[in-house]
Chain A
């Protein structure tokens, strides 16, 4: 639950009903299917079982096998089938059971889903949503915890959405299903059981817009830029940093493509310092792109280099070691502490023989 959601809980009267993120996504699918008969849901175990995370619970029963159905176990087949269904006029919402299980479908996603509008000069668009439960923190074994967002964000033609709150998981999914272009909708597994209210977004006439980051917490000293599962980590770090006297702003990107340069850069211009927090391995990741863009656009406002707090550059570790891999509050605080709050030289990256020798 986010700080914002918590504040609403206190203010609202009577208290709003809380739902889990998986429940909110289920509701979004149902509402979209009710609103548009062309919306269909398919994938592995999404029918009778309701998905391994129960995200599609009861949808097949309530909407029928034609609208929500199980497919053979083949991810390239599922995505390719969705391409054809979209060409025939449907709006498929498909599930890749886990992040790493989507890799067999990568050719279909990169060569067809992402490019069809471009290849056909706009004559064929593919309104497909590819839902991918992603990232770790749930004690999952190998191949179940990858942060695969960079592969998709690096592929022109795909929109990449990473909700961090229950409210956004509903609103951004509705927007994704309405979008005329393909969307990779990445659901942070560890937040499936987080709770929040979706009453305000159910009542709203518009869903959350893509490319609009949200300032989840205001601050004046440093900006934390995060997305998906890392937003909660950033918020906790911001709370902890308060005790050390740092006022921390937290920007939740919400969508990686399109990216909201404006909001994050405006925040950094105000605070003068920036740390990017991502759970994915850091090398050549989304955080690297964000750091580059912030320094390109706000160099003269920066008092310190933009730092990254990311997962280690290792294959996702076994459950007993994942806590060492995942960025946590301590690592974020350490990074904040390195943001040149005094006039001391940062010797971290100097050659070892010149350390301490600088004048």
Chain B
């Protein structure tokens, strides 16, 4: 049995060496226009189909196998985190079960030096990037606002104010380009976030400054309880890029092969200096918004059942088995790795981490103001008095 550390490093491996190199034809065949139907490589049963995928080279077998493993481990992590939230060990957890193809595909399409600008729901993506799951969960665990080192992990803090981080991604990517570095920024947003002003400002700035950014809209059909029909009547959220002069695409977000194919190309396009790309991935949030939400108040279980049929994991598994790229032993091994990963998270989250109360004053400014030093002294005295009275 692999140790938890080995399990963690396995997922790290998938996030590094496997980014597809640029395809031969980097520009998009349809110009700015997304396909009229979501790009698809695999149908719900994992059969190879040809739906508007002419423009995209098929991802390598190696990348697909890595995606399968990362999806299994990612889902197991997500389920574990949801369980921890239900047990009260996490204050809250926004799950992304059902969105594995987007979460994993986005990360496998990046090179290690690229940056991600995730939202609060993209924890699975961060696991795939190789971040320590306990550090990812520091926010709901209540110990920090961001538990990981954004610079070391090349991952911006998970962002709660919707769409605000998209503009950061644009400024960052533009800055990297100005510095002569070939970095691409992968910027995440949900369907609800596309209604925010910052989404539109980010697209426009990215286009005007030709910033190497890939905007990935995970359209999971709900913004908490509000359905996509109340969010937008655009034929596809992907169409929102056209008006800004951005190459846009829509893809079946539960088809890992299609997500990888489109994002591999989008990343190559951005890296080659041709500007940003907007991709809408059609997917579904199988769980509620968070553990504090009750999804039965706003959607039928029949709808959820329908989306369960389109589960991205069995779909890719069926195709990989059909191609002889994986077998029972591999599937069992990966499932085992997922369990080990979850066990490690469980074990380490059971430890109550002490947080230094004096750290409250550490990073308001580089140097605390005199007023903060006064408040620091006050708190210190309070805590000492408390200690003395024990």
Which of B194-202, B284-292, B298-306, B310-318 touches A? B194-202
Nearest CB in chain B to that of A115: its residue: B145
Which of A44-52, A121-129, A134-142 touches B? A121-129
User: Size of chain B's interface in residues, with CB distance under 8 A?
Assistant: 40
Contacts of B175 in A (CB 8 A): 84-90
Q: Does B362 contact A (CB under 8 A)?
A: yes
Contact between chains at B198 and A76 (CB < 8 Å): yes
Contact between chains at A74 and B205 (CB < 8 Å): yes
Q: Does A354 contact B (CB under 8 A)?
A: no
Nearest CB in chain B to that of A77: its residue: B201
Contact between chains at B365 and A157 (CB < 8 Å): yes
Q: Does B371 contact A (CB under 8 A)?
A: yes
Contact between chains at B172 and A122 (CB < 8 Å): no
Q: Given A66-B178, A124-B151 in contact, is the A80-B201 Cβ separation under 8 Å?
A: yes
Which of B100-108, B162-170, B250-258, B340-348 touches A? B162-170
Q: Does B174 contact A (CB under 8 A)?
A: yes
Q: Given A90-B175, A120-B157, A156-B364 in contact, is the A80-B168 Cβ separation under 8 Å?
A: yes
Return B298 CB to nearest CB of chain A, in Å.
27
> A77's contact among B150, B157, B202, by CB below 8 Å, is which?
B202
Q: Given A72-B201, A112-B168, A119-B157 in contact, is the A258-B151 Cβ separation under 8 Å?
A: no
Contact between chains at A108 and B164 (CB < 8 Å): yes
Contact between chains at A123 and B149 (CB < 8 Å): yes
Interface residues as binary, A87-122 with B (CB distance below 8 Å gives 1, 0 otherwise): 111100000000000001001100110011111111
Contact between chains at A123 and B202 (CB < 8 Å): no
Q: Does B50 contact A (CB under 8 A)?
A: no
Q: Does A198 contact B (CB under 8 A)?
A: no
A68-B362 Cα distance, complex, nearest whole Å: 34
A115-B175 Cα distance, complex, nearest whole Å: 21
Return A349 CB to nearest CB of chain B, in Å.
29
Contact between chains at B365 and A111 (CB < 8 Å): no
Q: Would you list which residues of chain B between 358 and 376 have a CB under 8 Å from chain A?
A: 359, 362-366, 369-371
Contact between chains at B201 and A76 (CB < 8 Å): yes
> A122's contact among B170, B178, B201, B363, by CB below 8 Å, is which?
B363
Q: Given A77-B167, A108-B164 in contact, is the A117-B364 Cβ separation under 8 Å?
A: yes
A89-B202 Cα distance, complex, nearest whole Å: 20
Q: Does B208 contact A (CB under 8 A)?
A: yes
Q: Given A117-B364, A118-B145, A119-B145 in contact, is the A81-B179 Cβ separation under 8 Å?
A: no
Contact between chains at B164 and A112 (CB < 8 Å): yes
Return B388 CB to nearest CB of chain A, in Å.
27
Q: Given A71-B205, A84-B167, A84-B173 in contact, is the A120-B369 Cβ separation under 8 Å?
A: no
Contact between chains at B171 and A81 (CB < 8 Å): yes
A120-B363 Cα distance, complex, nearest whole Å: 8
Contact between chains at B205 and A81 (CB < 8 Å): yes
Nearest CB in chain B to that of A110: its residue: B161
Q: Does B134 contact A (CB under 8 A)?
A: no
Q: Given A80-B201, A119-B157, A124-B150 in contact, is the A211-B172 Cβ separation under 8 Å?
A: no
Q: Does A180 contact B (CB under 8 A)?
A: yes
Contacts of A9 in B (CB 8 A): none
Contacts of A123 in B (CB 8 A): 149-151
Q: Given A119-B157, A259-B371 in contact, is the A82-B198 Cβ separation under 8 Å?
A: no
A157-B365 Cα distance, complex, nearest whole Å: 6
Q: Does B156 contact A (CB under 8 A)?
A: yes
Q: Would you list which residues of chain B between 216 and 264 have a CB under 8 Å from chain A?
A: none
Q: Does B335 contact A (CB under 8 A)?
A: no
Contact between chains at A181 and B366 (CB < 8 Å): yes
A90-B171 Cα distance, complex, nearest whole Å: 10
Nearest CB in chain B to that of A180: its residue: B366
Which of B144, B146, B185 gathers most chain A CB within 10 Å?
B146
A122-B359 Cα distance, complex, nearest whole Å: 11
Contacts of A156 in B (CB 8 A): 364
> A84's contact among B150, B171, B369, by CB below 8 Å, is which?
B171
- What is the interface residue range for chain A against chain B? 35 or more
Contacts of B283 in A (CB 8 A): none
Contact between chains at B164 and A77 (CB < 8 Å): no
Return A145 CB to nearest CB of chain B, in Å.
25
Q: Does B176 contact A (CB under 8 A)?
A: yes
Contacts of A261 in B (CB 8 A): 370-371
Q: Does B128 contact A (CB under 8 A)?
A: no
Return A2 CB to nearest CB of chain B, in Å.
26
Contact between chains at A159 and B365 (CB < 8 Å): yes
Return A148 CB to nearest CB of chain B, in Å.
19
Nearest CB in chain A to that of B173: its residue: A84
Q: Does B204 contact A (CB under 8 A)?
A: yes
Return A105 CB to nearest CB of chain B, in Å.
10
A107-B150 Cα distance, complex, nearest whole Å: 21
Q: Given A120-B150, A121-B144, A261-B371 in contact, is the A72-B171 Cβ separation under 8 Å?
A: no
Q: Does A83 contact B (CB under 8 A)?
A: yes
> B171's contact among A87, A159, A259, by CB below 8 Å, is which?
A87
Nearest CB in chain B to that of A156: its residue: B364
A121-B139 Cα distance, complex, nearest whole Å: 12
Contacts of A211 in B (CB 8 A): 369-370
A77-B205 Cα distance, complex, nearest whole Å: 7
Contact between chains at B174 and A121 (CB < 8 Å): no
A125-B176 Cα distance, complex, nearest whole Å: 17
Contact between chains at B171 and A88 (CB < 8 Å): yes
Contact between chains at B145 and A258 (CB < 8 Å): no
A90-B170 Cα distance, complex, nearest whole Å: 14
The 5 residue pairs across chains A and B that have the minimum distance between CB atoms: A84-B171, A80-B167, A88-B175, A77-B201, A84-B172
20 further A-B contacts with Cβ under 8 Å, apart from A118-B363, A119-B146, are A71-B205, A77-B198, A77-B201, A80-B164, A80-B201, A83-B167, A84-B167, A84-B174, A85-B174, A85-B175, A87-B156, A87-B168, A104-B197, A112-B161, A120-B150, A122-B366, A124-B150, A124-B157, A258-B371, A259-B369
Q: What would be 24 A-B contacts, judged by CB atoms less than 8 Å apart?
A: A66-B178, A72-B205, A76-B164, A77-B167, A77-B205, A83-B168, A84-B170, A85-B174, A87-B172, A88-B174, A108-B198, A111-B164, A116-B157, A117-B366, A118-B363, A119-B145, A120-B150, A120-B363, A121-B146, A121-B363, A124-B150, A125-B366, A157-B365, A258-B370
